[in-house]
Amino acid sequence: LQSQRPTVTVLAGDTALKDDGSDAIAGLTQAQKALPARFFYDDRGSQLFEQICDLPEYYLTRAETAIFRQYADDIAAATGACDLVELGSGSSTKTRLLLDAYARADLPLHYIPIDISAGILVESAEQLAKDYPGIEIHSLVGTYEQGLQQLPPASLPTRMVTFIGSSLGNFSEAESDTFFSLVAETLTTGEYFLVGIDLQKVVAVMEAAYNDSQGVTAEFNFNMLDHLNRRFDGDFQRDRFEHWTFYNADACQIETYLRAKVAHQVRLATLDLTVDFAVGETMLTEIARKFDLQQMQSCLDEHSLPVIRTFADSRGWFALLLCQK
Ligand code: AVJ
């Protein structure tokens, strides 16, 4: 079988990636400074995230992989031939287990990976095209919103949008409501949504996953500063900050910050923005919400995305929910 070259479409150019920095300005001028987690993912950040997934403390990827190993055939059987749209596909490593299942069942599949990091997206599409010559691949470079709003028309009988890895955890409750509404608007009745969620568990286990002993997660956090410097001609100095992360039990979320070790000023030239940091002042770089299964099921239900199958790992640490509009 001759493999087709995967196509790559950059959605709505650079402004599509909010290169104007309006959300960075908004976040840096708030009382509690905060930056969108999206800024982790330049090409280096995506590489670091791949390293995180292999860390002994980062149980999420292994738990979700175990679920895919056990249930990928069930998911393929449930949807049949489909357009598989993946939001935040990264290296597509776990999704390969799904692609294998469709291949085993002889089900036609079109794969539409969407990611903001062009480097990892293009590289993994080339490799996938070699390994899965029967699958048509159409990569989209852009944000989740852009991807969902600019999907190619469905070419197979149904569609499934996947949002795995607990990427959902980066959204506040309000943001996830908006996101689910957008997914539901995008799908037609009968189409599928597959979402991976990290579940609430012993605090020490969750905290270790975001504060690993090799310091890769700290490096991932600091890399956001390098990315901002490059993107906005900034002068953030990483040695003026420290990595700080903990589980906020009231909000049921890991919160990760960069905390200023000294009072100082940062200039982001292309944003024409000067930011003051007091000693000890924190800048929120990420929340990672941890979910309750029943609550999430009702939430999806309320968004017209009822759960038809729930798959969990043996420890009940992580779940994949298959929803059908
Ligand atoms: C990709 C958002 C699921 O929150 O666990 C890993 C990102 N941050 N280590 C997560 C992340 C620090 C990850 N998600």
pLDDT bin (cut points 50, 70, 90) of residue 3 is low
CA 198 – ligand 1 centroid, Å: 10
Provide the CB-side half-sphere exposure for 80 (13 A, CA): 5
Q: Which two tokens stand for residue 129?
A: 């095209």
ipTM of the complex: 0.99
The candidate with the shortest Cα–Cα distance to 94, out of 320, 325, 323, is: 320
Residue among 117, 199, 210 whose CB has most ligand 1 atoms within 8 A, to mutate? 210
174-183 pLDDT, tens digit per residue, is: 999 999 999 9
Determine the Cα–Cα distance for residues 62 and 80; give it in Å rounded to an integer.
Answer: 26
Give percent of the chain with pLDDT exceeding 70.
Answer: 96
Helix (H), strand (E) at residue 19 = none
Residue among 46, 60, 221, 252 whose CB has most ligand 1 atoms within 8 A, to mutate? 60
224-247 pLDDT, tens digit per residue, is: 999 999 999 999 999 999 999 999
Residue 160: pLDDT over 90: yes
Q: Residue written as tokens 């692609």?
A: 99
Q: Which residues line ligand 1 (CB under 6 A)?
A: 52, 60, 165-167, 169-170, 210, 217, 220, 286, 288
**Four-CA torsion 84, 45, 197, 142, nearest 10 degrees:** -40
Helix (H), strand (E) at residue 72 = helix 59-79
Residue 14: pLDDT over 50: no
pLDDT bin (cut points 50, 70, 90) of residue 154 is confident
State the maximum Cα–Cα separation within the chain, in Å, rounded to a whole number.
62
pLDDT the model gives residue 1 = 52
Radius of gyration (C-alpha) of the chain in whole angstroms: 20
What integer best gives the mean pLDDT of the chain? 95
CA 180 – ligand 1 centroid, Å: 19
pLDDT the model gives residue 7 = 86
Q: Which two tokens stand for residue 6?
A: 């995967």
Q: Which residues contact 127 (CB under 8 A, 6 or more apart)?
A: none
293-302 and 173-186 helices cross at what angle (nearest 10)? 50
CA 35 – ligand 1 centroid, Å: 15
7 C-beta neighbours (distance < 10 Å), count: 13
Q: Which residues contact 197 (CB under 8 A, 6 or more apart)?
A: 166, 168, 169, 291, 293, 296, 318, 319, 321
State which ligand 1 atom lies nearest to the alpha carbon of 166. 3
37-91 pLDDT, tens digit per residue, is: 999 999 999 999 999 999 999 999 999 999 999 999 999 999 999 999 999 999 9
Q: Residue written as tokens 């087709």?
A: 4
CA 167 – ligand 1 centroid, Å: 7
pLDDT bin (cut points 50, 70, 90) of residue 19 is low
Determine the Cα–Cα distance for residues 126 and 137; give it in Å rounded to an integer.
Answer: 9
